[in-house]
Structure 1
C-alpha cells in the first residue's frame, strides 16, 4: 500500500525543485490550490489513482518511479542538499544553544573552504555535509556577542560564512525563502563577529537573497546603505577590505540594473573598479548588467575569450556563458546561443540543471523557430536538464 504522506512529500519536493508554486502546479494539474495542499500534506486518499500520479510526473517532468515509496520497489527522489540545512536552521530557531567553550575552528574552516571551493566549481550537492556540523559547532556564537573590548569573535565569523554558503546554494536551487533566512542570519552572526570584512561579505549575500525575496528595489537600497556605512573602514582594511567593498558594489550594481537604472548601474560598476582595480569580477558583472538592462550588443561585445574564461572557476564560466546566450537570443543569433549553452553545460552542468531560471530559459528557447541542427542540440540539452516539455505558466523567461 502506498503512503500518500510519502507521495505527497515527494510531489512537494519536485514541485519546489521545478520552481512551481502550489497555485501554478494546481493550474497545470487542472486542480485547486486546496487540492494541492491536501495532497502534499497527506490528507488525500491512501492510494492515489495511477492516472493522477502519471499526470503529476508529467507536469514535474520526472519518471513516475520518483513519486513512489521505496517499499514498492521503486526509487526515491534525488538527494536534497538543502533538507538537512533547513532542519539545522529550524533547530537553531526553536532551541538556540547557550554560549559554551569555543569550538576547534581549524576543521570547521577547512570544511567551509571545501564547501566554497565546491560551490565555485558548481558542485552543489555537498551542502548538507558541510553546513549542519558547522552550525551545530558554532551554535553558541549565534547568541554570544562581541566582547566589551570589541575583539573579533572567530566562531561567529565562521558561522556567518556557513550561513552565507547556505544562502548561495539555496539561491541556486531557487529556494528564495531559505536564501533570505540564511543570509539574514549570516549578517547577524557577522555583526557579532566584529569583523567588518565578514560583515560586508554577508551583506552582499543578503543583497542577492533580497532580490528574490523582496525585490530589486529593497535589495539595492540595502546594499547602497551598507556600502555607505562601511566604505571607509573597508578601504582601510587593505586588499581583503577593498575586495569586500568591490563585491558590495557589484551586488548593488546588479540590483540597480534590474530596476533599469543605467546611470546608477554604471556609477556602481565604476566604483567597484576603483575599489579593487583589475579585479576580473568587474567585467563579468558588467556583462550581466548589460543583459539585465537590455543592452545586448554591449553584453556580446564584453564576452570573455576562451583563454579568459579558462582562468575562472567552472561555475563562473558557465554563468558568463549563460549571460552571453541570453544576449545572443535577444539579437536573433539563436544558433550561437545554443552553442554557448552547450559550452556552459560542459563547463558546469549543474548551473543549468539546478537553477530554475536557466532551465526555463532552455525550455523557452524550444518555442522559437530554428534550424533543424539547433533544434536537435537544444532538445538533447533540454532532456538532460529536465526542461524538455516543461513550462511555467504565464511567464516568459528568455529576458
Structure 2
C-alpha cells in the first residue's frame, strides 16, 4: 500500500473529518448530497473533512452517521468505546423519568398501596391508549413512572400469597408495557433490566398469560440483539411454549393468543436465519391457532389475532429476503383490519421493506408515508424505515428524491 493511499477508518485511527470523507466516498456520495442531508453547506462539509473546523457535537455526529448509513458510531469516530447501534432511535423526552422509576429501590414502606384491581384497570387503559394514539410513546411514557412505582408498591404490601402472586402478574405486565416504550431507544441496558424483571415477576406469579407475555418480549430482545443471540431467543421461546402447550385445551383466549404469538416468533427467528420451510411451517401453525380465536379478538399486548396473520406473512417473506413473495403477501394483507395504530404503522413499514426488496422504491416511500400517517412515533424509531428513507433521499430520480426528502424532514432525519 502506497504512503499516499486513502487511510482505512476500520484499520487506522485517523481524524474525524478524514473518516467522514472516506465513508462518504465509499457510499459514492458527493459533498453536496451529504450537506443537503445534514442541512449544512457543502463548504461546511469540506472544512470538516479537511480538519479546518472542530469535530461536531454528538447530535450532529449521529446525523452524519445516519446519513452515511454507518451502523456503528465507532466506525465514524474511531473510538471503540462508542459502540452504538444506529438502528437505535432517538431518546424520548420521557425516557429519564421512566428510567428513574425502574431504577429506584422501590417506594417507601409507609406509602399506601393502590389496590391490584385499580392498577390493573389503569394498565388496561394504558394499553388501550397505546393502540389508539399516534404519539403512543408520549402517551405511555407519561403513564409509566407512576404505574411502575404503584405496581412495585402493590407487591410489597400484598397481604396474602394469592394477592402477592396477582400483584406480581400485574407488575410483570407493567414491565412489559415499559418495553414497548424503551424499545429502540438509546439505553439498551435499561431495556434488558426491564425484560428480565418482567420474566422474574411473571414466574413468581404462576400466571400462564404473564409468563407467556414476558417470554414473548424477552425472545424479541434476544433476537434483535443479532445472530449470536438467536439460540437464546429460541431457548426462551421454546421453554415458554413447552410450559403453555399442555394448558391449551382448556385455555382462555388470552392464553391461547400468547401461545399463538410465541409460535409465530419461532418462525420469525427461523426466517432471520434463512430457514424458509421452518419459518412458514410455524406461520401456518400460528394461523391455525388464530383461527380458534373469535373473529373480533385482538390480544392487547402482542396484537395476535386473525387480523394480524397477513402482516406476519409479510414479515416472514421480508426476513427471508423474498422480494416478489413479500409483495404478494403485502397485497393480500389488509392493514385496515389491524385496530392498533402503532402495529398498523409497523405493518406498513414491513410492506415498504418488501417493495424495496422487489425494486419498487416509489411504492416503498408511499407506503412509509402511510406508516407516518398511522403513527409518526413508530416510523421515527424504526431503523428499517429510516434506512429506506435515507437511501431514497440520494435517488437520482428527482420526484422520488423530493418525496423521500419530505418524509425525512417529517421523521426528523433531515433539517427542515
Tell me if both proteins adopt one fold, taking TM over 0.5 as the criterion.
yes
Change in CA separation of 1:29 and 1:231 when aligned onto 2, cut-off 3 Å: farther
Change in CA separation of 1:164 and 1:97 when aligned onto 2, cut-off 3 Å: farther
For the 8 Å contact 1:157–1:195, the answer to whether it is kept is yes
The 3-state SS of whatever aligns with 2:413 is coil
Give me the whole-angstrom Cα distance separating, in 1, the residues matched to 2:203 and 2:157. Answer: 11
Gaps of 5+ in 2: 1-9, 20-52, 65-89, 296-305
Change in CA separation of 1:118 and 1:355 when aligned onto 2, cut-off 3 Å: farther
Aligned residue for 1:129?
142
Q: Deviations over 1:293-338 (max 9, x none)?
A: 1122122111257965254322122111111111111111111111
Give me the whole-angstrom Cα distance separating, in 1, the residues matched to 2:393 and 2:220. Answer: 29
Change in CA separation of 1:119 and 1:175 when aligned onto 2, cut-off 3 Å: farther
Q: Kindly state the Cα deviation for residue 243 of structure 1 after the two structures are TM-superposed.
A: 0.9
The 3-state SS of whatever aligns with 2:271 is helix
Change in CA separation of 1:233 and 1:145 when aligned onto 2, cut-off 3 Å: farther
Aligned residue for 2:320?
293
Q: How many residues align?
A: 330
Q: Kindly state the Cα deviation for residue 79 of structure 1 after the two structures are TM-superposed.
A: 5.3
1:382 equivalenced with 2:405 (yes/no):
no
For the 8 Å contact 1:153–1:192, the answer to whether it is kept is yes
Gaps of 5+ in 1: 1-22, 33-50, 63-76, 390-399
Q: Which one of the candidate residues 349, 352, 363 is aligned to 2:390?
A: 363
| Cα RMSD, aligned residues only | 3.4
Q: Which one of the candidate residues 79, 95, 114 is aligned to 1:82?
A: 95
Aligned residue for 1:167?
179
Change in CA separation of 1:327 and 1:175 when aligned onto 2, cut-off 3 Å: farther
Q: Kindly state the Cα deviation for residue 388 of structure 1 after the two structures are TM-superposed.
A: 3.5
The 3-state SS of whatever aligns with 2:114 is coil
For the 8 Å contact 2:17–2:55, the answer to whether it is kept is no
Give me the whole-angstrom Cα distance separating, in 2, the residues matched to 1:78 and 1:206. Answer: 21
Q: Kindly state the Cα deviation for residue 292 of structure 1 after the two structures are TM-superposed.
A: 0.4
Q: Which one of the candidate residues 296, 309, 332 is aligned to 1:282?
A: 309
For the 8 Å contact 2:311–2:333, the answer to whether it is kept is no
For the 8 Å contact 1:146–1:153, the answer to whether it is kept is no
Q: Which one of the candidate residues 231, 244, 266 is aligned to 1:230?
A: 244
For the 8 Å contact 1:96–1:139, the answer to whether it is kept is yes
Aligned residue for 1:244?
258
Give me the whole-angstrom Cα distance separating, in 2, the residues matched to 1:115 and 1:339. Answer: 31
Give me the whole-angstrom Cα distance separating, in 2, the residues matched to 1:27 and 1:236. Answer: 64
Give me the whole-angstrom Cα distance separating, in 1, the residues matched to 2:173 and 2:207. Answer: 12
1:155 equivalenced with 2:151 (yes/no):
no
Of stretches 180-189 and 103-112 in structure 1, the one that deviates more from structure 2 is 103-112
Aligned residue for 1:59?
61
For the 8 Å contact 1:85–1:132, the answer to whether it is kept is yes
Change in CA separation of 1:313 and 1:102 when aligned onto 2, cut-off 3 Å: same
For the 8 Å contact 2:335–2:344, the answer to whether it is kept is no
Of stretches 250-259 and 342-351 in structure 1, the one that deviates more from structure 2 is 250-259
Change in CA separation of 1:78 and 1:271 when aligned onto 2, cut-off 3 Å: closer
